[in-house]
Amino acid sequence: MVKLQAHNTTAHGKVYKNAFHCTSRILLEEGIRGLYKGASSSFIGIAVESSLFFGTYSQAKQLLQGSYEVGRPHLQVIIPSAACSGALISCILTPTELTKCRMQVQGKDVIHGARYSSPLDCAVKTLESEGLKGIFRGGLATLFREAIGNAVFFCTYEYSRYWMHNYLDSVRFSDSSHFVLAKDIGIGVMSGGISGMAFWTATLPLDVAKTIIQTDPDPHVSRNPLQILRMVYKRAGMGGCYAGLGPTLARAFPANAAAIVAWEYSAKILGIKRG
């Protein structure tokens, strides 16, 4: 996805025809290891992000719930809680995604900049050449993406979960324990998967801008995501703003379905009440 966003939005036109072409080029030029460049920094970022992502949202939601009816979703509660969660995790995601993107965008045909042997080497060299400000390049785009995306994600999740429970909890369905377990897992999978797709459909242009900002060899490139998106639109049209949409949505459904099911069952095992 990062290569599609970085190379298919330049003034020279598309480098890759589609996601399959991009994958085959990576395998031919860099081998199987090329598909996993920057993975370690992503794993660290995701581990910390997920705990803060759900934890901050849950705590903020409880604080804002007030006199609102418990169990029923309310936009006045969901949106600020989700935006607060997104703003917090963007501080962690910015440096981890910067190292991931720079690791992934480099290949055998890299011209600009130094090659990085590992995410740590990338972070160290970025700090040496650009300072602390450099390691947080793309922070504004990440903040916008996470604040807006989380609001879309949790609104979709809370409402789809509420409607599905209302329908499946009606008297026409069995109350057996086996059905309850299957029902809860099914609702978690569907609500989580749909919410993940909604997140990326709403925010992919901001992610494209973030990738360009973080991988551009020019340290003085504009860090304003709206300016970058205007530039991308002039060069590659709306397709450029949504570069990498296919593989992103294909990944978003299973990844977020698993995350939601894990979160819901962790809360149930720990005895944490959810509104």
Annotated domain spans of the chain: 1-37, 39-137, 138-274
CATH number for the segment(s) 138-274: 1.50.40.10
According to the 3-state scheme, what is the secondary structure of the chain?
CHHHHHHCCCCCCCCCCCHHHHHHHHHHHHCHHHHHCCHHHHHHHHHHHHHHHHHHHHHHHHHHHCCCCCCCCCHHHHHHHHHHHHHHHHHHHHHHHHHHHHHHHCCCCCCCCCCCCCHHHHHHHHHHHHHHHHHCCCHHHHHHHHHHHHHHHHHHHHHHHHHHHHHHCCCCCCCCHHHHHHHHHHHHHHHHHHHHHHHHHHHHHHHHHHHHHHHCCCCCCCCCHHHHHHHHHHHHHHHHHCCCHHHHHHHHHHHHHHHHHHHHHHHHHCCCCCC
**pLDDT at residue number 166:** 86
**pLDDT at residue number 53:** 84
**pLDDT at residue number 40:** 54
Walk along the chain (275 residues) in steps of 10 and give the mean pLDDT of each run: 53 54 58 54 63 86 80 90 92 89 70 68 90 92 95 96 85 63 89 96 95 86 92 89 88 93 86 66
